[in-house]
């Protein structure tokens, strides 16, 4: 596929359906076996649109091509220097062009500007592609069990 110029911008509420679709596609590819409705319901409960850091990769025509999502951790802390990376996802047709790397670096800049010093993440252990991506964006494996791997990255 030809390289498409894209910009990374702040999430807008009218991006929500596209972002949820991208996140669901990524979850299915990583082994999520539930329905789209269940996934959207669960993610919608977790997303705090006015507080989380949500960034969107958009085409010149403003089509959402990918997204990145992180939030302060723990969620109920008044102040924290830690964030949790929920996702960095790029639509399948745009993968392999460096967009995921760009989204991740942009997200790290955004959370860093909020005083975050450490970003943590968790992946399903069977998500080997995700683990390779985590390594490529500077995360180190901290812990694993039979189902999950836990990652951390200093900013």
pLDDT in tens, 13-24: 999 999 999 999
Q: Evaluate whether residue 2 is within a structural domain.
A: no
Beta-strand pair 82-90/118-124: parallel
Nearest to 152 by CA among 128, 118, 124, 129: 118
- Domain of residue 49, residue span: 7-154
Beta strand residue intervals within the chain, DSSP E = 7-10, 53-58, 64-72, 82-90, 118-124, 140-144, 148-154
pLDDT for residue 3? 54
* β pairing state of 118-124 and 148-154: antiparallel
Is residue 29 a part of any domain in this protein?
Answer: yes
pLDDT of 2 strictly over 50? no
* pLDDT (tens digit per residue) in 70-120: 999 998 888 899 999 999 999 999 999 999 999 999 999 999 999 999 999
> What is the CATH classification number for the domain harbouring 17?
3.40.630.30
At 33 the pLDDT is 85
Is residue 120 within 8 Å of residue 84, measured between CB atoms?
yes
The structure's pTM equals: 0.93
Question: Are the C-beta atoms of 77 and 65 separated by less than 8 Å?
Answer: no
Query: CA-CA distance, 144 to 4, in Å (whole number)?
Result: 37
């Amino acid at each position: 596929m030809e390289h498409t110029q894209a910009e990374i911008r702040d999430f807008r509420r009218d991006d929500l359906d596209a972002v949820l679709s991208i996140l669901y596609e990524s979850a299915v590819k990583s082994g999520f076996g539930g329905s789209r409705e269940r996934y959207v319901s669960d993610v919608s409960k977790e997303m705090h649109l006015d507080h989380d850091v949500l960034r969107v990769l958009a085409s010149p025509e403003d089509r959402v091509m990918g997204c990145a999502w992180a939030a302060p951790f723990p969620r109920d802390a008044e102040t924290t220097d830690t964030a949790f990376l929920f996702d960095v996802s790029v639509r399948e047709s745009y993968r392999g062009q460096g967009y995921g790397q760009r989204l991740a670096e942009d997200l790290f800049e955004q959370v860093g500007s909020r005083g975050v010093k450490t970003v943590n993440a968790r992946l399903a252990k069977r998500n080997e592609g995700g683990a390779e991506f985590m390594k490529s964006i500077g995360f180190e494996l901290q812990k694993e069990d039979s189902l999950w791997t836990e990652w951390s990255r200093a900013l």
